[in-house]
Amino acid sequence: MKQLTDNPDVLDTEIQQISLKTALQLAIRLHQANQYEYAEDIYRQLLELEPENPNILHYFGLLRHQRGYATEGVEWIKKALLLAPDYVDAENNLGNIYLQTGQAELAEPHFRRVIDINPNFATVYGNLGIALRELGQHEEAAASLWKAIELQPNDAHLYQNLGNIYRHSKNYHEAVGMYRKSLELKPFDVEAYRKLSRTFYLMGEIEQCIGILTQWLDYDPENPTALHLIAAYTRTNAPPRASDAYVRETFDGFAMSFDGVLKRLDYQAPFLVQHALQQINPDANNWTVLDAGCGTGLCGALVKPLVKRLDGVDLSPKMLEHAHARDVYDALFEAELTEFFLQADAIYNAITCADTFCYFGELTDVMHAAGSALMPEGWFIFTLEKIEETEANEGFRLNLHGRYSHTEAYISNTLINAGFRIHCIETAALRKEGYDNVAGLVVTAQLL
């Protein structure tokens, strides 16, 4: 242990330095444990004491991104790099922020800069591979992942990311091998199981899909994702709607990259809802609207200028953090939709809901509940995935990707029985899946 000096002035400085270092280590531990609020409080205090400390600037910027403030996070990390140009972790994480927000073209040069500084940094080769895959450069992406594996052969996620590249380029057998290797190194990994079963589906080997999910459930019998997907693949014992645990697990894990992923999928549902709302001429000076299943606030940002007050509700606390960061909601609530609707007691002029009912099969209860949350003659605008009448005996079907599709007739009958008048049902493309458009329904209905 270092022996402190007897000089009082130097001693005060040394104690302060030790305290700052200890405080930063504590903040980083809290940060890594997802205790973001506590970590942020310490980072802010440290920045007041040392505003030009590259480590503090870097970690604080990373945390702000993780809390939904990606643009701000980029600026803090850029400040760190101005002070320490060869700070490879900061450069790598700056690239990661761009990658997670759907800007692979901005991420690539940062990853290459890290390689120039440290050509043995395995992680950055993996990140560069992901960026190149997003840019459609599959061959170079695979080469970058292989370089990462050469440097770090026991990292399960590197094999999984290489599997993703092979899957996207339709080299399914190679993809299967990579996912299996990932699971050898890291059993119970949700994404590896999910992607392995999905790859077998793309190969047309449904029994293999079911076998992988059964193996997953042998390890983890109560896993909500595995239970939901095996119901989808076997088409037996399909639940009337996705469980709260499945929805929360799916979107908590998806929250940080959600906006970037949907940008790449040409996601149209929020714009379709906005357009439908504009068609009924909302009163911007008086209307109160609920954005149901608000996610990160993509739809809310479009709706807010059209109304006086906007509330949001979602099951995923991680998604709500990002919605809060958009600063478009007057209030946000963590709750299941049906329960929230029943407690709302006729306070909304309209409810908007972009791509949330694809996690419901049976809609009777939630439609009746929505009516109780609306004022008399209130409006209900939502999207869902479309299926033809001949493909769903009950009016809806749980698909192999884990989402439900509904027929137009089922939607119409359910709304009418719940006390609504159908104003308009239109067919539209909600997003891309692979190279294909996902057909959806945009529904506008009014409470009688």
Region 72-82: what's the mean pLDDT? 98
Prediction pTM value? 0.83
193 C-beta neighbours (distance < 10 Å), count = 25
Domain termination site, one of 44, 68, 85: 85
Q: Of the ranges 19-23, 70-74, 157-161, 301-305, which one carries the lowest mean pLDDT score?
A: 19-23
Region 121-148: what's the mean pLDDT? 96
In a domain, 325, yes or no: yes
In a domain, 76, yes or no: yes
Region 157-165: what's the mean pLDDT? 96
Domain termination site, one of 65, 85, 105: 85
In a domain, 200, yes or no: no
pLDDT score, position 17: 56
Q: Of the ranges 162-166, 331-335, 431-435, which one carries the lowest mean pLDDT score?
A: 431-435
In a domain, 364, yes or no: yes
In a domain, 207, yes or no: no
32 C-beta neighbours (distance < 10 Å), count = 10
In a domain, 209, yes or no: no
CATH number at residue 406: 3.40.50.150
Per the model's pLDDT, the better-predicted residue between 183 and 393 turns out to be 183
pLDDT score, position 435: 72
In a domain, 293, yes or no: yes
In a domain, 157, yes or no: no
Helices (H), 265-363: 269-279, 298-303, 317-326, 337-344
Kindly tell me the sign of the dihedral angle through the C-alpha atoms of 425, 426, 427, 430: negative
pLDDT score, position 391: 79
Domain membership of residue 265 as a residue range:
250-447
The number of distinct structural domains making up the chain is: 2
Beta-strand pair 288-292/309-314? parallel
Residue 291's H or E segment, with its range, is: strand 288-292
CATH number at residue 28: 1.25.40.10
pLDDT tens per residue across span 10-52: 434 444 555 888 999 999 999 999 999 999 999 999 999 999 9
pLDDT score, position 18: 53
Domain termination site, one of 67, 85, 103: 85
Residue 174 main-chain phi, psi, to 5 deg:
-65, -40
